[in-house]
Amino acid sequence: MRKGRPSRTALKVALAIISLGAKPGMEKLLPPGIVQATAELLVASGAAGRRTVRWAGSRLALSVYEAFDWMLPGQFEAFAGRKVFFERQVRDGLDAGARQVLVLGAGYDTLGWRLAPEFPNVRFLEIDHPATAHLKAKGIAAMGRPENLCLIAEDLGKRQLVDLLKSNATWNPHARTVILAEGLVMYLSPEAVSSLFCQCAALVGSGSRFAFSYFARGADGRPDAGRWTGLMLWLQKAVGEPWIWSIRPEELGSFLERAGWRIAPELVELSGLRGVEFYAVATNRAYER
């Protein structure tokens, strides 16, 4: 992440969601209100200007995104499926008794803002890198921050999550929790990813779930983002948000076990590769659906 600069990749995902809103049929797939809320958030936070947001919602922007889909095959449309997947995990987790939702590397995602009023007895916490989190907080304040939504600005590569949440009066380490890391772990070092999963296991009550997306590791040991991986790795590095962490899907189960989680493929309806990412869900002890 470039020092002091808001995340470009978070902005890219948010603009993609707005563009997907212009695709016929997408309104049936995308979570209700997500396109409007994302557009409002980008403008209110100053992350993007009104004109950029209007352009992102045009048919022209849609065709530009589609024209460049060869760089990350299938990933543009997969952003819609990714939003559906993570929101499904939250709703299912809440149905199963979760009382906290922790969104790590939240970017300009609007799930917390949209769901907090619907679930007033659930605490929603979001964490992101300070430069992005501060902008988002400004936007959320302008849109009206629900009382049960808390935004935290921290670098997860530097600050221990355990320290951060222990000092947060609203966090209950015994509560059943849904943790989301959507498009995050690839940006962290291997040490930070292992530590993050271990810390999360120590911070939540039994029956919690952790949903995340990740890149598979290629034969050369690098994240595998398809045919143009080399170009994409270079571009990501150039924008200051390099992809670092990846794992072979067959090694994910043992990795999670070591960190105190159990892989739960039965909770992943959309199994396998989506765009260039895999989705996974892990649970801790005493999980009951």
In the complex, the smallest distance separating the C-beta of residue 107 from ligand SAM, rounded to whole angstroms, is 3
Shortest Cβ contact with ligand SAM: which residue?
Answer: 107
Amino acid letter, residue 45 = S
In the complex, the smallest distance separating the C-beta of residue 7 from ligand SAM, rounded to whole angstroms, is 3
Which of the ranges 45-53, 99-107, 196-204, 252-260 carries the binding residues for ligand SAM, by CB under 6 A? Answer: 99-107
Which residues touch 135 (CB under 8 Å, ≥6 apart)? 6, 45, 46, 47
Q: Cα 83–105–239 angle (5° rounding)? A: 100
Residue 1 is a binding residue for ligand SAM (CB under 6 A)? yes
In the complex, the smallest distance separating the C-beta of residue 286 from ligand SAM, rounded to whole angstroms, is 28
Measured CA distances, 194 to 66, 69, 191 (Å): 35, 31, 5
164-183 positions binding ligand SAM, by CB under 6 A: 182-183
Residue 277 is a binding residue for ligand SAM (CB under 6 A)? no
122-161 positions binding ligand SAM, by CB under 6 A: 128-129, 132, 155-157
Residue 10 is a binding residue for ligand SAM (CB under 6 A)? yes
Residue 274 is a binding residue for ligand SAM (CB under 6 A)? no
- Percentage helix, strand, coil, to 5, in the chain? 45, 15, 40
Which pair of structure tokens corresponds to residue 63?
């065709």
Pairing of the two strands 209-214 and 277-283: antiparallel
Closer Cβ to ligand SAM, 16 or 264, answer by number: 16
CB 132 within 8 A of CB 154: no
Residue 184 is a binding residue for ligand SAM (CB under 6 A)? yes
Using CB under 6 A as the binding criterion, the count of chain residues that bind ligand SAM stands at 20
Measured CA distances, 132 to 59, 64, 87, 136, 274 (Å): 28, 25, 21, 6, 26
In the complex, the smallest distance separating the C-beta of residue 288 from ligand SAM, rounded to whole angstroms, is 27
Choice from 31, 81, 105, 205 touching ligand SAM (CB under 6 A): 105
